Amino acid sequence: MLLENRVAIITGGAMGIGRGIALKFAAEGCSVVIADVAAAEGKKTAEEVSQKGGEGIFLPCDVTASRQVKDMVGKAISKFRKIDILVNNAGGVPDPKGSLDEVSEEQWDKSLNLNLKSVFLCCQAVVPHMKKNKYGKIINVSSLGAVHPAVSVVHYHAAKAGVLGLTYNLAFELAPFNITVNVILPGPIRTPFWEPVTKDVPDKDAYFAEIAKKEVPMQRVGTPEDIAGAALFLASELSAFVSGETINVAGGLPQLPHDATIGG
Ligand SMILES: NC(=O)c1ccc[n+]([C@@H]2O[C@H](COP(=O)([O-])OP(=O)(O)OC[C@H]3O[C@@H](n4cnc5c(N)ncnc54)[C@H](O)[C@@H]3O)[C@@H](O)[C@H]2O)c1
């Protein structure tokens, strides 16, 4: 097993991509702290982790609040005595209005807090424990939209691009402590993330098929498992000498889809 006796914190691990990563890590022997605002889903995912092999616990935490982040990390350390892996996955689009003339200062701050400041807060709380052990694997979840937007969501894409800068800087700063810092850029992945825009869509399969056809060279949208595979590589010793790296997990994006280039 690739993560035997390892301990991971996964923010936003209750649902979607974070849950997929939690289950993948658990199957490789990892214990997982699910740090999330969604208590019912978080507890359920933690139970699923425990059923798979590693021990799962849920700790309630709003990753935009520094006190809650510190409390969560303190409890994780009391329970497991160490943190080997931090997956900064919590994030989303707090407001779908995204063009420059629509976004208020308040919406901007909300999105930057959720998608960028949260990563800073979690790294700041966890890294001292990693430094002590001279070991750590930090995996940030950005978005392909940070470098290749398909729609204008200026606050979200700016925040996710900030995650790239944070990743490169920390990879440099933390390399002497044997802490790697890498970032995944997901393309469209079918998760609850899409609920605000699909709640009134009658045929969701057709909706995602259309996105896939228009945007994704592989002609399908991704699954949490697709992201979990890349996360497992970055969390394990397979990537021992990889830091400051970005991995697009996006079905061939940002290449153009076939139809866009061949008579489409
Ligand atoms: N799904 C996609 O198409 C897609 C594409 C690119 C990037 N991403 C990014 O991947 C990550 C995971 O997305 P997803 O699709 O699984 O989203 P999701 O909405 O399905 O799940 C997000 C999880 O984060 C939790 N969360 C939200 N706000 C939080 C907060 N303040 N504190 C703690 N937890 C919080 C939610 O409760 C939920 O469990 C996000 O950072 C998202 O921006 C997703």
Q: What is the pLDDT of residues 7-40, one digit of tens each?
A: 999 999 999 999 999 999 999 999 999 999 999 9
Using only C-alpha atoms, the chain has a radius of gyration, in whole angstroms, of 18
Cα 253 to middle of ligand 1, angstroms: 20
Name the catalytic one among 135, 156, 168, 207: 156
Return phi, psi of residue 34, to 5°: -90, 110
| Closest residue by CA, ligand 1 atom 36 | 12
Angle at 94 (CA atoms; ends 93, 98), nearest 5 degrees:
65
Beta strands in the chain (DSSP E): 7-11, 31-36, 56-60, 85-88, 136-141, 179-186, 246-249
Q: Which atom of ligand 1 is nearest to the CA of 15?
A: 39
Residue 263's pLDDT is what? 61
Nearest alpha-carbon partner for 171 in 244, 247, 87, 246: 244
Q: Are 88 and 122 in contact (CB under 8 A)?
A: yes
Quote the DSSP letter at residue 170: H
CA pseudo-torsion sign 54, 231, 137, 37: negative
Nearest alpha-carbon partner for 87 in 200, 259, 231: 231
Examine the residue annotation and report whether 135 is marked as an active-site residue of this protein. no
Cα 263 to middle of ligand 1, angstroms: 36
- C-alpha distances out from residue 118 to 12, 194, 235, Å: 11, 21, 20
Q: What is the pLDDT of residues 158-200, one digit of tens each?
A: 999 999 999 999 999 999 999 999 999 999 999 999 999 999 9
Query: In the chain, what are the domains?
Result: 7-192+223-253 (3.40.50.720)
Q: Are 85 and 137 in contact (CB under 8 A)?
A: yes
| Closest residue by CA, ligand 1 atom 6 | 143
Residues of the chain under the 50 pLDDT cut: none
| Closest residue by CA, ligand 1 atom 41 | 91
Cα 176 to middle of ligand 1, angstroms: 31
Structure tokens at 122: 């979690």
